[in-house]
Amino acid sequence: MKKFKILVVDDESRMRKLLNDFLSANNYEILEAENGQKALDIFEENKDISLILLDVMMPVLDGWATLRELRKTSKVPVIMLTARGEERDELFGFELGVDEYISKPFSPKILVARVEALLARCYPENKEITEFDGIVIDEAAHVVTIDGQNADLSMKEFELLQYLISNKGVALSREKILNNVWNYDYYGDSRTIDSHIKKLRKKMGKKGEHIQTIRGLGYKFE
């Protein structure tokens, strides 16, 4: 299994040590930088860095400026760490190309979980191909074929089908589907699931019958 290399960028030595300890304990290789300029220098010499944990408020070169420079040449996943939790700051970060955003103080265990989830999404070489009754889901390529034909699913339809098949035989509530496919910070109407299920069934043709409606609850893939 690949050992991921993570660059921790923070001007506080205690924070770097905390992150280093927790991430190293989870079998990650850790590099450290005390400011943005140092981080850019290290990244230039270590192109195999898999992910960067980047603080915002730092001397020499802050997190925003560092991210701008990184995004000129690289799409390396970046989790921004900041004591500022205002919505406009988070939106600004996403506009610059942040992949995840965590406000201090945070639980180290939650941060490790976020790191694991982001790495799994960004480096899909270890992901599998799932097959069921002529339905083939290629996670790495994000492609679904049905009886050999490309189903041409949107990203959300792909994630929805993937979640349903991974829970084959389990009755899933709309709330649970929202939390897992649209994630915890989605505030939309649960009826958006019904709309996506309808489109998904149509694109799946006869195979769409595997998605069963559970009245008063949600759906089940059978």
Q: Kindly report, residue by residue over 17-64, the tens digit of the pLDDT.
A: 999 999 999 999 999 999 999 999 999 999 889 999 999 999 999 999
Nearest to 128 by CA among 140, 136, 119, 116: 140
- 144: three-class secondary structure by DSSP: strand
CATH code linked to domain 5-124: 3.40.50.2300
- pLDDT at position 160, please? 92
Cβ-count burial 107-134 (b if 16+ within 10 Å, e if not): eeeebbebbeebbeeeeeeeeeebeeee
Domain with CATH 1.10.10.10 in the chain: 127-221
Phi, psi of 173 (to 5 degrees): -75, 160
The pLDDT tens digits of the residues spanning 178-213 come to: 888 876 544 556 677 888 999 999 999 999 999 999
The pair of structure tokens assigned to 161 is 């089908």
Domain with CATH 3.40.50.2300 in the chain: 5-124
Class of domain 127-221: mainly alpha
Instruction: Report the chain's terminal Cα–Cα distance, integer Å.
Output: 33
